[in-house]
Amino acid sequence: MESFFFGDTDRMLYGVFHAASQERYRNRSVLLLYPVGHEYMQIHRAYRRLADSLSDLGFDVLRFDYACTGDSFGNFAEATIDQWADSAVVAYDELQTMSPGARIDVVALRLGTVIARQLAQHRKIQRLVLWEPNYSDAYYWQQTVDVIKDKGTTRENFIEGDVLHLNGFAYGPSIGNSLQLGSWDKFPETSVAEVLVVSAREESVFADFKKVFSTRGKLEVSSVTGPDDWMAADPDGGIILPEPSIVKIRQWLSA
C-alpha cells in the first residue's frame, strides 16, 4: 500500500495505491469512488478492506480523496460536483499510468455514483459497480434537507441561507444546483460494458436502473443485507462495515 499526492500542483489530490498480488496478477485495475461528508468517514474502513481484498485477488486498486475532501487540497465548503468529477478523471488517468495496459473497473458508493456517471462520459469503464445509488441526483439533496429538518436545528445540523450543514459538513448551493440536473436516464449508451447495482433497500430501487441498462450493456442487480440509512451519523464516530456488499462486489469483479 502506497500513499501519495498527484495531479496539478495547485490542487493536489491524495491517493492510496494498493498494488496487485504478483502471484495472481490480472492486468485489471479498480478505481474506488467515495461518498462525501460523514458518509466518507463511516465507509473509509470498508473501502480499505475492499481495496486490500481486491489487490490480493490480483487487481491494482486506487482509492483517493476528491478535491476539497479528506487529505486533498481545498476546503469542503468550496467544493462543487464538477470539481469532484474532474478529480475522478485525474485519478483515472493516474491509475492508467500506474497500471499501463490494464482495463479499469469502477466501484462507486452513494454520491460517488453521480461522479461515476460523469466519469463515464469522458473515460472508458469496463465494469461499473453502483453501490446504493439513487436514480435521481436530486434525491441526495432532498435527503439532506429532510434529515436536517427531521433532526431539528443543532450545532452540526442546520440550514443557513442556501447552505446545508449536516454532521459538520457545509454543502454549498453549487452542489445542490448541480444535483437538480442529473439522473441515470442521461447515461451514455456506450460508456460501460457491464454494470452491477448493489443495494440493501427494497427491490423497487432496481426497477429504473433495469429500464436504463436493458439496452445499454449487461446489468446485474443484487439485494443484500446491510445499512439502508446512510444519512445517519453515529455520535461516537462509528463505522459502517457492510460485509455482504463487499463480498458481492469482490465476487462480481473477480468472476
Instruction: Express each pLDDT in 167-219 by its tens digit.
Output: 889 999 999 899 988 888 877 766 788 999 999 887 777 888 888 887 766 88
In 10 A of CB 86, how many CB atoms? 21
Instruction: List pLDDT tens digits, range 106-147.
Output: 999 999 999 999 999 999 999 999 999 999 999 988 888 888
Instruction: Give the pLDDT confidence score for residue 10 in this predicted structure.
Output: 86
Taking a C-beta distance cutoff of 8 angstroms, is the pair 74, 26 a contact? Answer: no
Instruction: Give the pLDDT confidence score for residue 126 in this predicted structure.
Output: 92
Instruction: Give the pLDDT confidence score for residue 143 in this predicted structure.
Output: 85
Strands (E) across the chain are located at 2-6, 13-18, 28-33, 59-64, 103-109, 125-131, 158-160, 163-166, 169-171, 192-199, 218-223
Residue 19 banded pLDDT, cuts 50, 70, 90? very high
Q: In what order do the strands lie in the sheet with 163-166?
A: 158-160, 163-166, 169-171
Residue 43's Cβ-count burial label (10 Å; 0-12, 13-18, 19+) is: buried
Taking a C-beta distance cutoff of 8 angstroms, is the pair 126, 49 a contact? Answer: no
Instruction: Give the pLDDT confidence score for residue 69 in this predicted structure.
Output: 96
User: Which CATH number does 2-137+188-254 carry?
Assistant: 3.40.50.1820
pLDDT value at 18 more than 70: yes
Instruction: Give the pLDDT confidence score for residue 154 in this predicted structure.
Output: 80
* pTM, to two decimals: 0.93
Half-sphere exposure of 180 (CA within 13 A, CB side): 5
Residue 91's Cβ-count burial label (10 Å; 0-12, 13-18, 19+) is: buried
Instruction: Give the pLDDT confidence score for residue 85 in this predicted structure.
Output: 97
Residue 231 banded pLDDT, cuts 50, 70, 90? low
Instruction: List pLDDT tens digits, range 42-91.
Output: 899 999 999 999 999 999 999 999 999 999 999 998 899 999 999 999 99
Instruction: Give the pLDDT confidence score for residue 233 in this predicted structure.
Output: 58
Instruction: Give the pLDDT confidence score for residue 145 in this predicted structure.
Output: 84
In 10 A of CB 199, how many CB atoms? 22
Which residue type is seen at 187? F
The residues spanned by each domain of the chain are 2-137+188-254
If residue 252 lies in a helix (H) or strand (E), which one and from where to where? helix 243-254
Q: What is the DSSP string of 163-222?
A: EEEETTEEE-HHHHHHHTT-BGGG--TTSEEEEEEEESS-TTHHHHHHHHHTTSSEEEEE
Residue 201's Cβ-count burial label (10 Å; 0-12, 13-18, 19+) is: middle
pLDDT value at 254 more than 80: yes
Residue 204's Cβ-count burial label (10 Å; 0-12, 13-18, 19+) is: exposed
